[in-house]
Amino acid sequence: MTIDASNSTNAVPTKTVVLGITGCIAAYKSAEIVRGLQKAGVRVKVVMTEHATHFVDPVTFRSLTHEKVAVGLFDDPSDPIHHISLAQEADVMLLAPCTANMLAKIANGIADDLLSTTVLATTAPLVIAPAMNVHMYENPATRYNIGKLQIRGVHFVEAGTGYLACGDIGKGRLADVEDIVSATLSMLGVKRDLAGKHVMITAGPTVEPIDPVRYITNRSSGKTGYAIARAAFARGADVTLISGPVALQAPEGVSMVYVQTADEMLAAAQEAFKSADIGIFAAAVADMKPARAADHKLKKGSDDDQLSGIELVENPDILETLAANKGSRVVVGFAAETDNVIENAQKKLISKHADVIVANQVGEGMAFGTDDNEVWFIDDEDTEGLPRMSKANLADAILSKSLEFLS
């Protein structure tokens, strides 16, 4: 049986988001935000500042939304008070990206273009995802404006840290699209089927030290686990994400536990699993570790060449250990295989005491490090093949599958 993950169970077709886009290089990501909201069944209307049109042509958003794209106060002769009609249509007003200039306008009640007048006129909840240079973001004036708006009840999706368009490195880049979409859907009051549930997720690789400069690890990027955490939070869950070392931004609203080794991940998972309703074990835990980690760099070719004779021992099996005493908890395991994928996953389902195994073939551009994947769901009764899809869509499919086992 094949699951169609393109249709969201959380769709709210009657809701409208008015998306404001300001003049920032991150404006191109607004197209992804539109698509993310549309996948949840939300209608999107776009308002752009004049400066924003220099980064992305309004035709892009007109094509995506099948709606007029508003730019100027007087560019729609059929609607002479356009900022009022737009303000009244919004169930949520979202500004993404929002520049320091627009932040200052909103914080101080300045309304001198279509977007700022629409924001001032709306009574809908306001969500802002700022994006700017790190020094602009950290400037006391910007921090003061953000603080003023937060006091007024504006919800912020905090800027991320990383390499910025100007060449600086620091805080100020637009938050991940998934986090912006999730925050907006939450403000819309979308019905969430995991409300009141605690979902524990492990993600990424573990690293097992050989000496102070070397370690054993694998190619896991953590993208699937992080996508599941975002999706679970969007669906109302209390989420604990136990993460090995990855190069990913922490999902908004998620309780993060950072670990390095398999032993650390086991300890963290044991603690979180106590209160969990669903445990999703997406981490790629290293199978082996050195019996002893050296406290100094091991030298090759030395008289006592320890580097060529490292003794390895097995790591604890986190999935098997916790699932053995799962009680009423739902346990989802993962099987990354290069061959005999389904057969090996069926064996793992039994030996690990899991409710369902998410099986995937790795290698040749599949699974590790990619933004999409093709998997099978394997449980006691069935094997379900899913088409190749984005990891964001896959995350929702995994959560929906988990709910089938939740009593």
Residue numbers annotated as active site:
166
The terminus-to-terminus CA distance of the chain in angstroms comes to 23
Q: Are 75 and 53 contacting, i.e. CB atoms less than 8 angstroms apart?
A: no
Query: Which of 97, 25, 15, 3 minimizes the C-alpha distance to 383?
Result: 3
Assess whether the previous peptide bond of 97 is cis (omega < 30° from 0). yes
Phi, psi of 168, deg, nearest 5: -70, 160
Q: Which of 271, 279, 288 is nearest to 202 (CA)?
A: 279
